Amino acid sequence: MTTEVRLRGAYAALRDNRPEAALAALDALLGPPDGAGSTVASAEALPPRDRARAHAWRAQAMRALGRAEEGAREVIAAIRLAKAEGDTDGVLALRALHTELSASVASLRAAEAGRAADRALLGADEAAMDAETLLRKSGACADAGEAAEAERTARLALARAATPREQVLTRLALARLTRDPALVLASHTIADAADDQNLLTAVAHAARALAVQLPRPSFG
């Protein structure tokens, strides 16, 4: 099988939303990543332009598989090769891809930091916690597989809910845990009375997820 045929196969797999197959084909061409953005020497040497394409496609496959940080390193390797070839348009496109991947990495890190902060609430004293903090603790309990504790904490959050936002979000959290449609309907009533479109949207999402029929809007 020629290099061009292998590249086309990898691209076709990526285009057809088969990132695992694309990654396997590209690893066979490039060698597995060594973790620093370069690769182990391949048995079949690729021309620099083809190698740049392969790195860029491997980055996209990695992004699709939730490996954005590794993908960002692959793009850096592709940019170096494109620069060496004088491919200005390629460099610009690759920089845009690197920006997207870097944003994904930052988002994933922020989400993990948030989850770590929520996990820290598991053993914390609830006496001074407001409704939103208790909701975070409830989510951390659910993530830890502690369903009963998640429900207990969500009910405590509901008891401490003061604002319409807190009243809606605590009911929706409890509805997801208990599958109780009455909580979704109550949330809709509160959000509608508050005339808060963001809350109404959150209620609509929850209603779809739990197959709850919301009241039809009335006009006039």
CATH number corresponding to 3-115: 1.25.40
Q: Is the pLDDT of residue 36 over 50?
A: no
Q: How far apart are CA 101 and CA 107, in angstroms?
A: 10
Amino acid at 217: P
The pLDDT tens digits of the residues spanning 122-155 come to: 777 788 889 999 998 999 899 888 999 999 999 9
Ranges of each domain in the chain: 3-115, 128-210
The pLDDT tens digits of the residues spanning 38-48 come to: 444 443 467 88
At 31 the pLDDT is 82
CB atoms within 10 A of CB 219: 4
Are 178 and 157 within 8 A, CB to CB?
Answer: no
Are 69 and 53 within 8 A, CB to CB?
Answer: no
* Cα distances (angstroms) measured from residue 87 to each of 46, 49, 81, 82, 218: 17, 9, 9, 5, 60
pLDDT above 70 coverage of the chain, percent: 92
Q: What is the pLDDT averaged over residues 201-205? A: 95
**pTM score:** 0.52
170 or 33: which carries more pLDDT confidence? Answer: 170
Average pLDDT of the residues of the chain: 87
Q: What is the pLDDT averaged over residues 82-98? A: 90
At 121 the pLDDT is 78
Query: 33 forms bridges with which residues in the sheet?
Result: 39
pLDDT band at 218 (very low <50, low <70, confident <90, very high): low
Give the SS3 label for residue 33.
Answer: strand
Q: How far apart are CA 176 and CA 167, in angstroms?
A: 15
Q: How far apart are CA 215 and CA 205, in angstroms?
A: 14
Q: How far apart are CA 134 and CA 150, in angstroms?
A: 9
Which is nearest to 183 in space by CA: 191, 174, 192?
Answer: 174
45-54, 88-97, 101-110: which is most confident? 88-97
CB atoms within 10 A of CB 123: 7
The DSSP H or E segment spanning 118 is: helix 88-119
